[in-house]
Structure 1
Amino acid sequence: MLTKKYTNVRVTTCDAELEFVIQSSLTGRQLFEQVIKTIGLREVWYFGLQYVDSKGLLTWLKLNKKVMSQDVGKGQPLCFNFRAKFFPEDVSEELIQDITIKLFYLQIKDSVLNDEFFCSPETSVLLASYALQAKYGNYNSSYHTSDFLSNDQLLPRRVFNQFRLNMNDWLERITNWWSDHYDMSKEIAMMEYLKIAQDLEMYGINFFEIKNKKGTELYLGVDSLGLSIYDKSDKLSPRVGFPWLEIRNISFNDKKFIIKLLDKKCSDFIFYVPRIRINKRILALCMGNHELYMRRRRPDTIEIQQMKNQAANEKKLKMLDYSKISNESYAREKAEQKQREAEKEMKKMNEILNKTKEELNIMCRKYKQLQKQYIELNKSKILLEKKEREMEKLNAQLLSQNHMSEEERNILISKICLHEEEIQKMRDVVNTKTSNINSQQLDFDVIKAKNVDSKCFLDEIDDKISDDGIELSISEKSSMSTINDELNREINVSVKKKLELLTKELDNFKYEENMTKFDLLHQENKIVGKDKYKTLKQIRLGNTKRRIDQYENM
């Protein structure tokens, strides 16, 4: 029996259940750190702990507050889900660790299969083929029979009701594509799955019900690229978009949200939410997505560089092992090449580590120099102030002594002149020292900025959010060309062709009456040649004033 000082906690990840006994005084951060330490995760900035509060709403655990002070319930054990809270813009460029890729893969796969966001029937078949490669490896027709796969959920349940096809018909199409992935490692299969999933229209978007000033019911979409506005009847195609680079401040008052844009000439972007409870959730998502958006556009920290090098070496070693299993002779030949590459990468990593140590040593030396110079500067300032006070006394003495002899007056004036010269020299010394310190402080800040530990991101979201708003810092060098560059991505051509062929084939077996609203919207978009990235480009065209007007008139 646990005392009041201790509580049982169960944390569910996408593939495991973790049990902890925690002290009642434990903070959300301390619990979060126990979880990431247990699973070996370093890319912590994407994730959070989620729970169902007393009103039945999914809520993110605040890391800077005690677990027991939040609305987590009083049952035993306390239950949390470890989930991705933020999503990368490009999984292949940003996700580093295998564990991170796996967690994203499992979460996105669950979302697709449970219809949490729309995935077309043809795309769900392609995703299923990668899921089987990730789970079982290479396809073997004599082993991977329909009976063997009968317990696997491969497609969203709605898909089975939309076509005149039985399970074997679907398996035939899925395994045809599965066989195309022969010799693909499980890790690569997961990444390929994510690369396709991230092109889905609703991927990585948090939707909130809002109203504009006219009272029109709309959806606000918050994601890695910015804020988007959707018609209530269409979550696939946003109508208006505001990238993070255009937003400088977000605040709220009661149910009213006010978003100030970088263009101060245009009016504020204002919307209303139905429940006050979701205010801080929107703020937290805006804060986190904006911070990650800006971080992606800065050079990698030393920590990220090290993680990337380590992951690259681990992947090379895994590929080496995989090659050996698949073809011994071929693997032996490639092993030497892989080893050379691994050694080269290791050398590169060591160079980075040495450079890091060098920079840290320089930073320490500069810090000590700065401390010493600050002490000297303060001493000089004290002496200067003392000399100035003496000067004031001498001047006062000169003015007050009316009956002073000419000789005494000349001696006093000489003293004052001498003091003036000394004071000027001391001021010059103080100014020179101040200038030197400012120059060295600038150098110190530059070195320090290069070595920022990215873990501080976890604290920023909780600590920087005030009760009613956040200020978003934007680089002055950012421009609309940057915004357009991030959308210059198209769905893979070969994948596109595969999907088009399967779509034509499936059209012959379709139950039109069972098509959902999303299916019909998706078909309309395909007919006019729209996809996710073309739509995002379209909704960001024109100046912010025009887009604000467009939003207000919806």
Structure 2
Amino acid sequence: MPKLMNVRVTTMDAELEFAIQQTTTGKQLFDQVVKTIGLREVWFFGLQYVDSKGDLTWIKLYKKNEPNNCAGQIMQKLFQPNELEIYPTKVMSQDVKKENPLQFKFRAKFYPEDVAEELIQDITLRLFYLQVKNAILSDEIYCPPETSVLLASYAVQARHGDYDKTTHAPGFLSNDRLLPQRVLDQHKMSKDEWESSITTWWNEHKGMPREDAMMEYLKIAQDLEMYGVNYFEIKNKKGTELWLGVDALGVNIYEKDDKLTPKIGFPWSEIRNISFNDKKFIIKPIDKKAPDFVFFAARIKINKRILALCMGNHELYMRRRKPDTIDVQQMKAQAREEKIAKQQQREKLQLEIAARERAERKYQEFEERLKAMTEDLAKREQDLQNAEDKIRALEEQVKLQQQAREELEARQNELQEMMIRLEESKNLEAAERQKLEDEIRAKQEEVKRIQTEIEIKNEHTRRLEMEVEEARQKKEEANRQLLAVSTTPQHHHVEENDHDENDDLPNGDVTKDLEIDSSIVDPVEERRTLAEKNERLQDQLKALKQDLAQSLDETKETAMDKIHRENVRVGRDKYKTLREIRKGNTKRRVDQFENM
């Protein structure tokens, strides 16, 4: 029985494990991986491994049956019929580090020129998004601080969906890796301040599907200078140490201390032949009057990698400018159908969400009105209680006043009787007469006192009557308002299904057409085009840059930061720079390279 080898393949979001035979080819392993993850845009990707010397290498899917070449020169004419025979290459025949299990990474090897135009499948989009995001966070791709915050907001949208302050409480993003460590170190900001800044942007993306957030992330990231560039250390004939950058648009030359700003560039359309001999690499321009573009690498292995990347990028560069193959056309058609279906599903979901939100708002409004009515009712009831208390007090006062009147009448009657007795007692002794007069004076004073009390009580009664009248009016007003708040107007009632006898379906479901106003413009229709949106975002980025400048610790700025700041100051960006360095004829650029 053939011996099996365990293999672990790590994608950007999963680990796959297989058992392969000694005879399994690179092509077979690659096919097994892409079949497992459902990937069809296979031309961008490869299997990466660490060789026995510790270098990162791409597994070969095929090998060519090449004739011996005594000079050791490998020549590949781009896009000419290949007369060499091609055979699958065994995995175990390559310089894979021997460990159990064998370790491979499934990664993007080539990058599209425009992610929006070229990436078809959602799985392809996701793999590119995760790989580019990881490269930005680890500073393999330089990203300025303000752009890092913007990209972080799209990353949060892609992972968590729409921002909801009830669900996404402060501290929700504390465990997410969202910004390069360089950016964090350069600014005197707390985690909460960073989260607040990112959340402000995140809230701008409400309603954006996760796939669209990933695409927006990549559309911004692809404009970064280091995006999609493979760098190699080289020297010109003078021995000057330089960087060679290979990407989807061509090859560029960089000074040793600046990977952001290429100095010389050659688009793929100007190159007709590439080759290397030992450590010497030769690029032949289409312009036959121009000299060869020659540089030197430290090892042959590096030249092999440069050759493979140049061939692959050139092939994709030419393929983009030809009609799509039948397979690609089918993939795009399927992607369009899936996108339409998803869009319809999202629109349906948005309608359901909008209807639910409207219902929740109405319910909230009803609860608030009910609360206000309850509070108002309690106030009116308290007013009524106060009025009734005053009426009871008045009744008690009237009763006391009546008692005082009766007492006054009794005292007056007694006084009258005394006066009569006084008149009849003229013949009485002086002592008895004096006693009777004292009693009469006392009775008169008592009557006077009672009269004063009655006058005071009368005045009190008049005031109380005025208060009672005022309370009565308030009571009547309270009753009117109580009646008003307990009866809602007709237009506040929720529309009920009062015609469901006409709407019953055979299966027992009830349906009702909702009112539609074709003149209402859906907010989605008012979303700006990408160019307009970028203009708006550019203004916001400037504002964000100014905000971040306040917390910037300039002592922690890197050389890349300073180069980027200078490029921005003079008005350079990725594409302006590429246009500039490709000006002039090929000979002038080759001469410029030799003189670096």
Is 1:170 matched with 2:212? no
Q: CA deviation at 1:323?
A: 2.5
**Matching residue of 1:318:** 342
Q: Say if 1:499 and 1:318 are closer, same or farther in 2 by CA, change over 3 A.
A: same
Q: Which moved more, 1:494-503 or 1:257-266?
A: 494-503
Q: CA deviation at 1:329?
A: 7.8
Q: Of 50, 55, 58, which residue of structure 1 is paired with 2:56?
A: 58
Paired residue total: 398
Contact residue 124 and residue 155 of structure 1 kept, 8 A: yes
Map Cα deviations across residues 367-404 of structure 1 (whole Å, 9 max, x no partner).
xxxxxxxxxxxxxxxxxxxxxxxxxxxxxxxxxxxxxx
**Matching residue of 1:12:** 10
**Matching residue of 2:305:** 281
Q: CA deviation at 1:509?
A: 1.2
Is 1:253 matched with 2:295? no
Map Cα deviations across residues 38-85 of structure 1 (whole Å, 9 max, x no partner).
000000000000000111110000011100000112211001000000
Q: CA deviation at 1:278?
A: 1.1
Give the secondary-structure state (helix, strand or coil) at the position aligned to 2:162.
coil
Contact residue 131 and residue 190 of structure 1 kept, 8 A: yes
Contact residue 36 and residue 42 of structure 1 kept, 8 A: yes
**Matching residue of 2:146:** 122
Q: Equivalents in 1 of 2:548, 2:276: separation in Å?
A: 48
Q: Equivalents in 2 of 1:329, 1:212: separation in Å?
A: 63
Q: CA deviation at 1:491?
A: 10
Letter paired with 1:52: V
Q: Of 528, 535, 551, which residue of structure 1 is paired with 2:570?
A: 528
Contact residue 242 and residue 253 of structure 2 kept, 8 A: yes
Tell me the TM-score normalised to structure 1 length.
0.70
Q: CA deviation at 1:287?
A: 0.4
**Matching residue of 1:201:** 225
Q: CA deviation at 1:224?
A: 0.2
Contact residue 199 and residue 491 of structure 1 kept, 8 A: no
**Matching residue of 1:148:** 172
Q: Equivalents in 1 of 2:117, 2:97: separation in Å?
A: 39
Is 1:518 matched with 2:560? yes
**Matching residue of 2:256:** 232
Map Cα deviations across residues 318-351 of structure 1 (whole Å, 9 max, x no partner).
1222233333287999xxx9xxxxxxxxxxxxxx
Q: Equivalents in 2 of 1:110, 1:281: separation in Å?
A: 23
Q: Equivalents in 2 of 1:491, 1:242: separation in Å?
A: 32
Contact residue 324 and residue 330 of structure 1 kept, 8 A: no
- 1:310-349 matched pairs, under 5 angstroms: 310-328=334-352
Give the secondary-structure state (helix, strand or coil) at the position aligned to 1:213.
coil
Q: Of 159, 183, 190, which residue of structure 1 is paired with 2:207?
A: 183
Give the secondary-structure state (helix, strand or coil) at the position aligned to 2:110.
coil
**Matching residue of 1:27:** 25
**Matching residue of 2:495:** none
**Matching residue of 1:428:** none
Give the secondary-structure state (helix, strand or coil) at the position aligned to 1:242.
strand
Q: Say if 1:329 and 1:256 are closer, same or farther in 2 by CA, change over 3 A.
A: closer
Give the secondary-structure state (helix, strand or coil) at the position aligned to 1:79.
strand
Tell me the TM-score normalised to structure 2 length.
0.65
**Matching residue of 1:542:** 584
Q: CA deviation at 1:490?
A: 12
Give the secondary-structure state (helix, strand or coil) at the position aligned to 1:194.
helix
Gaps of 5+ in 2: 63-88, 356-512, 519-530
**Matching residue of 1:509:** 551
Q: CA deviation at 1:148?
A: 2.1
Contact residue 111 and residue 117 of structure 1 kept, 8 A: yes
Give the secondary-structure state (helix, strand or coil) at the position aligned to 1:327.
helix
Q: Equivalents in 2 of 1:550, 1:224: separation in Å?
A: 23
**Matching residue of 1:93:** 117
Map Cα deviations across residues 264-314 of structure 1 (whole Å, 9 max, x no partner).
111110000012211111110000000000000111111111111110111
Letter paired with 1:7: M
Give the secondary-structure state (helix, strand or coil) at the position aligned to 1:278.
helix
Q: Equivalents in 2 of 1:320, 1:177: separation in Å?
A: 26
Map Cα deviations across residues 402-430 of structure 1 (whole Å, 9 max, x no partner).
xxxxxxxxxxxxxxxxxxxxxxxxxxxxx
Contact residue 171 and residue 195 of structure 2 kept, 8 A: no
**Matching residue of 2:93:** 69
Q: Equivalents in 2 of 1:185, 1:224: separation in Å?
A: 28
Give the secondary-structure state (helix, strand or coil) at the position aligned to 2:19.
strand
Q: Equivalents in 1 of 2:239, 2:533: separation in Å?
A: 36
Give the secondary-structure state (helix, strand or coil) at the position aligned to 2:186.
coil
Computing the radius of gyration from Cα coordinates, the structure with the larger value is: 2
Q: Equivalents in 2 of 1:266, 1:495: separation in Å?
A: 43
Q: Of 33, 40, 43, which residue of structure 2 is paired with 1:42?
A: 40
Q: Equivalents in 2 of 1:8, 1:253: separation in Å?
A: 37
Q: Equivalents in 2 of 1:142, 1:182: separation in Å?
A: 15
Letter paired with 1:44: V
**Matching residue of 2:103:** 79
**Matching residue of 1:380:** none
Contact residue 323 and residue 330 of structure 1 kept, 8 A: no
Q: Equivalents in 2 of 1:244, 1:515: separation in Å?
A: 35
Higher relative contact order (CA 8 A, sep 6+): 1
Contact residue 5 and residue 23 of structure 1 kept, 8 A: yes
Map Cα deviations across residues 153-173 of structure 1 (whole Å, 9 max, x no partner).
010111111011111111111
Q: Equivalents in 1 of 2:227, 2:273: separation in Å?
A: 25
Contact residue 490 and residue 533 of structure 1 kept, 8 A: no
Q: Equivalents in 2 of 1:20, 1:498: separation in Å?
A: 48
**Matching residue of 2:412:** none
